[in-house]
Chains A and B, each alone.
Chain A
Amino acid sequence: EVQLVESGGGLVQPGGSLRLSCAASGFTLSSYAMNWVRQAPGKGLEWVSYISSSSSTIYYADSVKGRFTVSRDNAKNSLYLQMNSLRGEDTALYYCARVAGRDFQHWGQGTQVTVSS
């Protein structure tokens, strides 16, 4: 069974940093591209970042470009999102999602990030 489990969320002050992780099981992570998607409280979904299976191709939404860095360790079956210079508008539930082609086919349950003083 495909499972994606996010962790690393929490409360952080504006300007601070946080590193999210996504642990993959039930499949070979190195065979799939991955994405991060977030959802602010009471709001819709927002795509954040994409990383190809080999990390050779990486994309970011304009809202996080220059502040967030996506990476992966296929040997550890893990995906990461390093978030720096955090702002209040980054407060959201962060999901990782497995992609096949352009198909967002499996999602984790999310980890909450709250940016507040």
Chain B
Amino acid sequence: QTVVTQEPSLTVSPGGTVTLTCASSTGAVTSAFYPNWFQQTPGQAPRPLIYGTTYRHSWTPARFSGSLLGGKAALTLSGAQPEDEAEYYCLLYYDATWVFGGGTKLTVL
């Protein structure tokens, strides 16, 4: 069974920078996994942030960026805002299935 692993929790200071990662139990994550990133706040549906590893949606603030880093998919937040406090999920594609990471609880403090 494929497992996608994210940091359970991270803390960033307002205005600071933080990187969330997304690892695959099958090995290195590449662009072929089409990494997606989502933000979810309590009581709300997931909000898409990044697709295809690096592409922002039209509504995604420029302070969010996606990349591949050390064999993982990565989401970097530069200049954290209080409203960025949320749960973040990555999603990877595996040839006819998709697997979500367990989520990272990001605290802006």
Using a CB–CB cutoff of 8 Å, the interface residues on chain A facing chain B are 35, 37, 44-47, 50, 59, 61-62, 95, 101-110
Q: Are B103 and A104 in contact (CB under 8 A)?
A: no
Q: Are A44 and B46 in contact (CB under 8 A)?
A: no
Q: Are B99 and A104 in contact (CB under 8 A)?
A: no
Q: Are B45 and A47 in contact (CB under 8 A)?
A: no
| Per-residue A-contact encoding for B75-93, CB less than 8 Å = 1, 0 else | 0000000000000010101
Number of residues of chain B lying within 8 A (CB) of chain A: 24
10 contacts between A and B (CB under 8 A): A45-B91, A47-B97, A47-B98, A47-B99, A47-B100, A50-B96, A61-B97, A103-B48, A103-B55, A105-B57
Q: Are A45 and B48 in contact (CB under 8 A)?
A: no
The DSSP consensus for interface residues of chain A is strand
**Cβ-defined partner of B46 (8 Å) among A45, A50, A102, A103:** A45
Chain B's closest residue to A100 (CB) is: B51
The DSSP consensus for interface residues of chain B is strand
Q: Are A95 and B45 in contact (CB under 8 A)?
A: yes
Q: 5 closest Cβ contacts across the A-B interface?
A: A102-B34, A103-B51, A47-B98, A45-B100, A44-B103
- B45 contact set on A, CB distance < 8 A: 95, 107-110
Chain B's closest residue to A4 (CB) is: B45
Q: How far is the CB of B53 from chain A (nearest CB, A)?
A: 10
Task: For chain B, residues 34 to 51, give those with C-beta under 8 angstroms from any C-beta of chain A.
Answer: 34, 36, 38, 40, 45-48, 51
A104 in contact with B97 given A44-B102, A44-B103, A95-B46 (CB within 8 Å): no
Q: How far is the CB of A106 from chain B (nearest CB, A)?
A: 8
Q: Are B51 and A102 in contact (CB under 8 A)?
A: yes
| Per-residue A-contact encoding for B10-40, CB less than 8 Å = 1, 0 else | 0000000000000000000000001010101
